[in-house]
């Protein structure tokens, strides 16, 4: 166990972490994480959990800050999960900054950082994985077969070790958020899953550990993803109810950037990723615009809620 002072700045809209967060425990064994958080709950403290793969950025830190406001003890986990990578080479390429990540987590309000080895998380090759069916098979699941089984499996292991808690995930990975929520509901984990808004760079690019792989030209080109999402959302806000028209606008806007290769663009019901024919089919439910693309050798994803207040109800439409 190691201790570091909490010295980082705090950003709006969250308040500073509680004053009792003065040192951070750095743990690397599952039993130690379980014991530490069980002890916190026994003392009457609320536990927040922020699972990450490390290489922390402002998006991750916003989750820690939110958890520090909601909870008494915040545990951040750092584990590059091999089940989520397409190859061993991709896993080895993933950026790792352990000491910097620990300092950033402490500054944002974490009281615990869990940094297990692969052998700790998978002492033997896993033969049991978790699938959430169609929800994990479409979009990212179709482009990266087995990805969400890997996500669900490692998150389940972390939830089992952490015990009853609130767990914080960013909306930037919207499909992942839904997969985790579905798993928690189906398997009755004593966990409340909290989705937090996407954090963006000043140019609109969603914060991602993969952004460090973008050179200056690709970085400029990558801005087209959010620009396309914003344009399609504005189209919906102006009253366009045909989901095919909106999807075409979204796809064409991305394709207009020659350095970007579109993987998918979609207009879906936010709660279950069901594709929409008409945007007002979602009724009072939220609509999400999804996009994924390759920018150079880097694959990026993004999404945005579509404002539907100006759409006519189905009964108001003329034949």
- Which one of 60, 97, 147, 244 is the catalytic residue? 60
CA-nearest of 138, 128, 113, 142 to 37 is: 113
Q: Which two tokens stand for residue 12?
A: 């709006």
Which parts of 16-94 are beta strand (E)?
25-27, 47-52, 73-78
Task: Assess contact for 55 and 211: CB atoms under 8 A.
Answer: no
Where do runs of H (alpha helix) occur along 43-97?
A: 58-70, 88-93
Q: Examine the residue annotation and report whether 294 is marked as an active-site residue of this protein.
A: no
Query: What does each C-alpha distance from 71 to 6, 11, 67, 290, 304 come to in angstroms?
Result: 16, 17, 6, 31, 28
Residue in this structure with the two tokens 């100006």, named with its chain if needed:
310
**Distance from C-alpha of 285 to C-alpha of 129, rounded to nearest angstrom:** 31
Nearest to 229 by CA among 141, 304, 129: 304
Count CA within 13 A, CB hemisphere, residue 92: 3
Alpha carbon separation from 147 to 19, 86, 169, 252 (Å, rounded): 39, 8, 17, 27
CA–CA distance, 21 with 205 (Å, rounded to integer): 32
Catalytic positions are 60
């Amino acid at each position: 166990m190691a201790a570091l002072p909490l010295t980082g700045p705090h950003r709006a809209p969250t308040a500073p972490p509680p004053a009792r967060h003065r040192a951070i425990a750095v743990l690397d064994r599952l039993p130690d994480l379980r014991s530490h958080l069980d002890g916190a709950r026994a003392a009457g403290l609320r536990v927040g959990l922020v699972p990450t793969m490390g290489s922390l950025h402002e998006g991750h830190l916003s989750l820690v800050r939110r958890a520090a406001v909601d909870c008494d003890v915040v545990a951040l986990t750092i584990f590059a999960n091999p089940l989520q990578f397409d190859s061993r080479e991709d896993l080895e390429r993933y950026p790792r900054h352990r000491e910097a990540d620990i300092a950033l987590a402490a500054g944002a309000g974490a009281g615990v950082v869990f940094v297990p080895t692969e052998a700790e998380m998978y002492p033997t090759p896993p033969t049991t994985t978790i699938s959430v069916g169609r929800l994990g098979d479409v979009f990212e699941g179709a482009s990266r077969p087995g990805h969400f089984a890997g996500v669900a499996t490692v998150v389940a292991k972390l939830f089992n070790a952490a015990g009853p808690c609130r767990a914080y995930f960013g909306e930037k990975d919207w499909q992942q958020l839904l997969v985790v929520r579905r798993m928690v509901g189906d398997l009755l984990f004593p966990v409340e899953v909290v989705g937090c808004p996407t954090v963006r760079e000043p140019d609109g690019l969603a914060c991602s550990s993969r952004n460090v792989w973008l050179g200056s030209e690709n970085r400029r080109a990558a801005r087209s993803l959010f620009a396309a999402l914003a344009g399609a959302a504005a189209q919906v806000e102006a009253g366009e109810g045909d989901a095919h028209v909106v999807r075409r606008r979204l796809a064409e806007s991305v394709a207009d950037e020659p350095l970007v290769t579109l993987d998918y663009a979609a207009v879906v019901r936010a709660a279950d990723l069901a594709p929409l024919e008409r945007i007002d089919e979602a009724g009072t439910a939220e609509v999400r615009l999804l996009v994924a693309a390759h920018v150079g050798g880097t694959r990026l994803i993004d999404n945005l809620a579509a404002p539907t207040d100006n759409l006519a109800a189905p009964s108001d439409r003329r034949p």
